[in-house]
Structure 1
């Protein structure tokens, strides 16, 4: 079963963030490696996303903050507004 992932029809901005991420992944990791096995590729991609991209790499779309720090600040702000 296929589920539509967007509400609007053919809007190029719907996938801009995902496309930007995959470009970054390819440029920063994939193009520079010669993976010997599928498991090696999976491990490298997992480590890139979970260790480097989400925890150490600054993101311009988040005002040059780390995603985990930005998310924590966002949650704290949300909690303050609820109180």
Structure 2
């Protein structure tokens, strides 16, 4: 996996924590960010990395809107990265 994309995924999710997002979305995004932080260095076995990406994908599926356009853009970018990485599997 490309470390750069994993780091970008973590950055996008971390940026949502700096925005005034809706409370429920904030909890989901915090969980996704924690998992993304764990994989950002790309030093995990491929099967574990795939599992964590699937977890992030599942968590993000619970976020419909953050009530903040900038945070929504970061969520969408994170989803695209996760989708691309999972499609490569």
One fold, TM greater than 0.5? Answer: no
Name the structure with the higher helix share. Answer: 2
Q: TM-score, normalised by structure 2?
A: 0.30
The higher relative CO (CA closer than 8 Å, separation ≥ 6) is in 2
TM-score normalised according to structure 1 size: 0.32
Computing the radius of gyration over CA atoms, which structure comes out larger, 1 or 2? 1
